[in-house]
Chain A
């Protein structure tokens, strides 16, 4: 017996699992080999260290939870457990709460004329100041927000390329609209024409509420620069005011309707999430697309990308496990004929793990990654292949 063979049997020796002849041969070798004796001692010490490990105890309440889960009709409980107990659900629930509150505020507001009356005062003053150039007009200040709202509206589109294309088109349309508006703003009395040239992109600007804006606008039109702002602003205000009333931006509102709608303030629209304002874009979604879930209605994903796989089913299963393993949660899912689109919310510190896990599932190509990731990262994965 050489040293290598002898050392291969150390485990069995320690556990007294050697046959008699094996034991005799090993003992004979050890008697003549000091190195192996020393090595055997270290081996024994190692195993002894293991024996000193602190025992593990199940967490408190474990028995109760198991008994609860094993009850005769536990499926809905287990489902709830699976869906709601992991912490990441906080995100969608918070988002859902925001939506509920927003809708509630809008409904209460629209149902309360006195609230609308009181809300009229402030915007009048704001517009008056804007007309004399004290504060910048809304369309400009809100401009940077538009690209952000675009992806979330197009979230349900079938393809990311399509989506990106749509975002680009939206940008172009907005540029064009802005240019047109600027031109028109310099020609007094073009309000009626403007109505036709307004594009959906105009709706991206948030609505500064105003009544008495016509007076301010008229007054401002005497001076060229403020006039342009006021006109721009006016066009937006009208556009936005129509949205909550008729639900569609492109529909032409008869004068009577418009007057009625002017009586209402645009505030309700402020409370509406972006999807309300971008109604025309909804037409681009497939009919089967479910309504955006709460989380995706509020912001574009932090990371999105394509996962090319050979076996889609396998990848979906793998992704599900991966999400569970990194303590994330699937917040949205859209099944298309080209493959599912899945949104995942995951803690920032787990993102690296998720990323490497995705790379193992297939060819993972994230096409955007946040430079300063939020504490909860939302990742949209499109599985193809």
Chain B
């Protein structure tokens, strides 16, 4: 991922002191990862943007609650994950019911129109397969295999036991292994 995350401490400090540039720096540095999680989870660009914006607004309001024990990015992932899972479950909304259309949108969402034409069948299948996972497995595999968080960071972000993270990740990967069988060498 990109963006300066090494100087979290100074950024947080500036945020707490109300430095108007600090919030902008935060959004610039973390926008893609927050949006990425939202998009993989929700499968809809508009909804993902709405949710990503909500994540940053919450951070803006609640920066005082950030104790600095975890990485700032982990805190952002935690907020984003929670909002995604709430949205997916509370409104009886399930990605699986969106059918092929929404899943195709997930697949195409990462690309511009030109690249989309060249997108491989594999890429489409991959995103579709992720979209078909159950929410609790999907969030773990997104954080681990797409966002590169460690087991410990995932456990912290999702407030789960390490063992639960491990088993959910494993189930998610097993599901994916079956779904992507024909693309394996």
Pairwise interchain contact B91-A63, C-beta atoms closer than 8 A: no
Q: If A11-B170, A65-B53, A321-B91 touch, does A56 touch B97 (CB 8 Å cutoff)? A: no
What is the interface of chain A, defined by CB distance below 8 A to chain B?
Answer: 8, 10-12, 15, 17, 42-43, 45-47, 49-59, 62-63, 65-67, 69-70, 86, 317-318, 321-322, 324-325, 327, 349, 353, 356-357, 360-361
Chain B neighbourhood of A327, CB < 8 A: 46
Q: If A66-B57, A357-B93 touch, does A55 touch B169 (CB 8 Å cutoff)? A: no
Chain B neighbourhood of A56, CB < 8 A: 32, 35-36, 39-40, 109-110
Question: Which of A8, A65, A325 sits near B91, CB closer than 8 Å?
Answer: A325
Chain B neighbourhood of A46, CB < 8 A: 173, 176-177, 180, 184
| Closest-CB distance, B109 to chain A (whole angstroms) | 7
Pairwise interchain contact B24-A67, C-beta atoms closer than 8 A: yes
Chain A neighbourhood of B170, CB < 8 A: 8, 10-12
B69 in contact (CB, < 8 A): no
Complex Cα gap A290–B109 (Å): 42
| Closest-CB distance, B89 to chain A (whole angstroms) | 10
Q: How many A-B residue pairs have CB under 8 A?
A: 128
B90 in contact (CB, < 8 A): yes
Chain B: number of interface residues, binned into ranges: 35 or more
Complex Cα gap A12–B111 (Å): 32
Pairwise interchain contact B27-A67, C-beta atoms closer than 8 A: yes
Q: In the complex, which residue of chain A has the Cβ closest to the Cβ of B24?
A: A67
B123 in contact (CB, < 8 A): yes
Complex Cα gap A266–B20 (Å): 62
Pairwise interchain contact B110-A54, C-beta atoms closer than 8 A: yes
Chain A neighbourhood of B166, CB < 8 A: 11-12, 17
Chain A neighbourhood of B144, CB < 8 A: 15
Complex Cα gap A54–B109 (Å): 10
Question: Which of A43, A55, A57, A361 sits near B173, CB closer than 8 Å?
Answer: A43
Chain A neighbourhood of B53, CB < 8 A: 62, 65-66, 69
Complex Cα gap A58–B51 (Å): 12
Question: Which of B35, B45, B93, B111 sits near A54, CB closer than 8 Å?
Answer: B111
Q: If A11-B173, A15-B151, A42-B184 touch, does A325 touch B47 (CB 8 Å cutoff)? A: yes
Chain B neighbourhood of A55, CB < 8 A: 1, 32, 36, 110
Q: If A11-B170, A12-B166, A17-B166 touch, does A70 touch B39 (CB 8 Å cutoff)? A: no
Q: In the complex, which residue of chain A has the Cβ closest to the Cβ of B55?
A: A66
Pairwise interchain contact A58-B127, C-beta atoms closer than 8 A: no
